[in-house]
Structure 1
Amino acid sequence: MATVLGSFLNRNNMNNYTPEVIKLESGKHATLFGDKKATVLLINTPLYDFATESASEFEVYQPPLGLAYLASFTHKNSNTLVQILDASGEQLSPEEVGEIVSIHDYKVVGLNSTTPSFKVVKRIIKSVDPCRKIIVGGPHATLLPETLLEDPALKVDAVFCGESEISFDRWLNGEKNIPGVLCQKADRSQASLDYTPKNLDDLPLDRRYVPFDPTHTEFNPQGRSRFFMLTSRTCPFNCYFCAAPALRRSASFRKQSDSKIAEEIISYAKLGIRDVRFLDELAILNDQQVEAIFRPVVDAGYTSEADMEFRMHARIDILNKLSDETLALMKRVGVKRLNVGVERGSVAAMRSVNKVNLTPEMVKRVVKRLADNEIFVTAYFMLGFPGESEKDMSDTVNLARDIKALAPQTEGTKINSFKFRPYPGTKIYYDLLDHGYTKAKLIEYSYDSGEINDKKNRFVDQQVNLHLSNVPFDVEQKYIESIRAI
């Protein structure tokens, strides 16, 4: 049985807070972040079943800031004591999670869920004592609540749809018929998101709830001391392979004020934090926004010369519109890397997934301009779209090679590639349903994360007996190997 070892000290501790460390029967250690004597445990569910699988070698650690916001809001509003377990970051098996749950008197156990993690969600639910209330949120729960509420093998007390700070707090306080909270058979008419937070500046974030945050923990599981920020919600664009449009049904794109973002960066830079990563799906909007956020940071003396480093997600078509002056400011403040979704290799293929403003030439032009400012990209591509031809795949691989050649140094352009998965809520998912594919088959196919760099997942097509492109499987695999080798 797991035992509590107490807390561990971080010599750089900035707020006199220390997380709680648990020793498992296996000898492995796990960490609980937040309040001692908590009655609520929120779990960041792994994509992988770590009892039998290992994470992709390309996995980059990032904490569950959504859960941290949830805990912060309900603690501030109702003084509820909450702990967070990052089972993904610490690579815990479902059984190890159950072991941890058993040592504390938690009344409520909550899990986040994506479709690739759904198998693990179910195993964790079955490992938890049913006398505790079990709740589930996240994209999968929002889009397919019936897979949780209508499965007789699962004991789930409530499903939370969409952003749940307000609804979660009200549910904990005993309210009934809360918009966005489903407690019985999934009735989508009850899945209203009326309680979505509107002003993000008003949402509290207590860093005690952020796993492995550098304000209280020296290193994260990958040995880095990195500060994470989430300054916006959802994405305003409508890519056909992305579920964002379905997830923002009554919650439009919102962001914190530029001044709040700048103030937070400066306040933590004063404490010695230098490595900052934005987890926003869209962190850069235009010249004015970049100026408003980063100019105060530069004026405060926190620049690349002071060892500041920033990483974030961005869109090629937005980066294409940035002025030379803006790129120079980004270089000066310390922006080192941008994650960009390219996905496909030709204009026609890009249009087919609603990347309407993108062209291969624009991609190459933006990568070159950024590299000239010592800002490099990690470019994301996908193979295996429905109806994809061999020429489409060849174009994708060639574009990946072209942009790699524009910044070939070790810390230059990086290529990250995925096998397409028709995740629930995406336009392509609904199109496939209209063409006769079954929901069960598509969900099973999407249990895999699509990370084609992971050898264990490369043959999921054969395991599930589903193949969507027009390219024979063995030929498609050759293109997958080609893009992996870049």
Structure 2
Amino acid sequence: MKFLLVFPRFKYPSGDPPVGPLSLIAYLRRELPSVLVDFFDATFTPSLDAIEKKIELFSPDLVGVYCATLMYEDALKVGIIAKKHGARTVFGGPHSTMAPKSLLSRSCVDFVIIGEGERPLVHLLESYPDMAKIAKNTAIKIRGMKNQENMAKLQLIDDLDDLPFPAYDMVDMGRYIRHWFQMDVVSPALRGTNVFASRGCPFSCSFCQPTLTSLFGKKIRFKSPERLIEEILFLKEQYKINSFIIDDDTLTCNKEWLLKFCTLLEEKKLCMQWGCNTRVGLINEKILEIMSKVGYRRMMVGIESASQRILDEVYNKGIKIKDAPALISSAKEHGVKVFAYFMLGAPTETSREMQKTIDFAFTSAIDEATFSIATPLPGTFLASRFMQNHYRGNDDFSKVDYYRGNPRTVSRNIRSLRLRQKLAFLKFYLHPKRISFLLKSFSSIIAIRKSMLKLKRLVQVKGR
């Protein structure tokens, strides 16, 4: 039995390796040693011809395709190629979980996995080609099979420490590290990568729920601090990194875990600079002081809007905008750079409210910011809100792009919204206090290469 997993990231390449798919590959290699497993990462080889050549040479029985909504169109093209060469296909990932019918209606899709992929995929590979046996796992949906309307039972990994390290050997980690820009605001010379400490999210933000609950269940699960330290030490020794980002959305909601992690960083003398996401209201002065003493240098925080009405009524964010300046100020006092996420164009959002958000970002002590266009991903509460406000449904997933917006779903003229987005970036980064960072972003060939990856999110690149 041969299994090939394809990660079809054609748009917006970055230095962030596909840790989720690599974790899945590592799990398969451990649990099914008799199955020959391979991986194709399109991040630096965005070519359907290259994927087809890989399938021809490897000749897999099954081709797995990771499918986020932003990858939907390219994922289907991979499925068509796989079927052309006699392989069956299984799709997984967030889009597969939230909109399985959009895939199972396509002849290039044979199976769709709902939720976490490790256990259902092992069941599929062990049972293949016995369809009756495969169908016993409700997390696996089969194209053309009747009576599959029952709720999928998630097959979750209870103890994340039981997972092997991601299969970093399956990708060009050297190239990923060279393109990694997450800590450039601290120093473009830092070598680093992303790691994950948990699965799940306890919050109810409308733009990503119930997706996270549908994927990972209602309970948030953490690796032990000791296990994550082991993985970071492995990456440091194997790839000579001196920096990392913990890419979980809500790492700081577990303060006991966080304090233990900081203690271990000090005891192990890792001497690395790092960053993580947090939320307004989740982190206090004392914890920030402890984190900064063990190398914490970049805080990423979702503020989304400076309008409390939008935060409450549309995004269900659960934060108070009045508390954001104190968090930013506290971070700066401890030498921590601040990156903030904002969105423009929410349902019912007025031009005045958008301008308020842009002005808030401009006048604050934030070091970096991104301004995405509010985009309803399938199955989210935000998608329902768009429909309630009579905006057109997003049935063409190939047009979904939260960096540039979708003309079918935005709450106003798309050109005007994209122009406002570009002006927001210009106003923010041309502020005199941010000019030094801007100049540093173009100070070397490596820095320029990384900056171009960021700019692709604003400037549409035609052709491939």
1:337 shift after superposition: 1.2
Question: 1:170-194: per-residue Cα shift (whole Å, max 9, x none)?
Answer: 1101142212001124866345133
Q: 2:141 maps to which residue?
A: 182
The question of whether the paired residues in 1 share the 8 Å contact of 2:302 and 2:342 is answered with yes
Q: 2:155 maps to which residue?
A: 195
Is the helix fraction higher in 1 or 2?
Answer: 2
Q: How many residue pairs are counted as aligned between the two chains?
A: 407
Question: 1:308-331: per-residue Cα shift (whole Å, max 9, x none)?
Answer: 121222212212xx233x212211
Pairing 1:245-284 to 2, within 5 Å after superposition: 245-248=212-215, 250-266=217-233, 268-269=235-236, 272-284=240-252
1:430 shift after superposition: 2.1
1:245 shift after superposition: 4.8
Give aligned-pair identity as a percent: 20
**Counterparts of 1:328 and 1:433, CA distance in 2:** 44
TM-score, normalised to structure 2, is: 0.80
Question: 1:248-280: per-residue Cα shift (whole Å, max 9, x none)?
Answer: 474532111223223433455466532222222
**Counterparts of 2:134 and 2:397, CA distance in 1:** 36
Q: 2:58 maps to which residue?
A: 104
Question: 1:313-354: per-residue Cα shift (whole Å, max 9, x none)?
Answer: 2212212xx233x21221122122122111111222211234
1:387 shift after superposition: 1.2
Q: Is 1:90 matched with 2:54?
A: no
| RMSD (CA atoms) | 2.6
Partner AA of 1:323 in structure 2: E
Q: 1:468 maps to which residue?
A: 411
Question: 1:154-211: per-residue Cα shift (whole Å, max 9, x none)?
Answer: 3222111110101101110114221200112486634513322111111222544552
Q: 2:285 maps to which residue?
A: 323
Mean Cα displacement is larger for which, 131-140 or 441-450?
441-450
Question: 1:349-373: per-residue Cα shift (whole Å, max 9, x none)?
Answer: 2112344542333111111111111
User: CA separation of 1:337/1:446 partners in 2, compared to 1, >3 Å: closer, same or farther?
Assistant: farther
Q: 2:165 maps to which residue?
A: 205
Q: 2:432 maps to which residue?
A: none
> What SS does structure 2 have at the residue aligned with 1:310?
strand
> What SS does structure 1 have at the residue aligned with 2:396?
helix
Match of 1:137 among 76, 92, 116: 92
1:300 shift after superposition: 2.1
The question of whether the paired residues in 2 share the 8 Å contact of 1:160 and 1:182 is answered with yes
User: CA separation of 1:138/1:267 partners in 2, compared to 1, >3 Å: closer, same or farther?
Assistant: closer
Match of 1:484 among 406, 415, 425: 425
The question of whether the paired residues in 2 share the 8 Å contact of 1:130 and 1:155 is answered with no
**Counterparts of 1:44 and 1:383, CA distance in 2:** 29
The question of whether the paired residues in 1 share the 8 Å contact of 2:202 and 2:219 is answered with yes
Partner AA of 1:67 in structure 2: P
Pairing 1:35-184 to 2, within 5 Å after superposition: 39-48=2-11, 55=12, 60-79=14-33, 80-87=35-42, 89-128=43-82, 129-151=84-106, 154-174=107-127, 175-177=133-135, 178-184=137-143
**Counterparts of 1:90 and 1:221, CA distance in 2:** 12
Partner AA of 1:205 in structure 2: F
Q: 1:310 maps to which residue?
A: 274
Question: 1:104-124: per-residue Cα shift (whole Å, max 9, x none)?
Answer: 122221111111210111122
Mean Cα displacement is larger for which, 253-262 or 353-362?
353-362
* Runs of 5+ unmatched residues, structure 2: 128-132, 181-189, 429-464
* Runs of 5+ unmatched residues, structure 1: 1-37, 49-54, 408-412, 452-456
**Counterparts of 2:418 and 2:108, CA distance in 1:** 40
User: CA separation of 1:350/1:449 partners in 2, compared to 1, >3 Å: closer, same or farther?
Assistant: same
User: CA separation of 1:477/1:436 partners in 2, compared to 1, >3 Å: closer, same or farther?
Assistant: closer
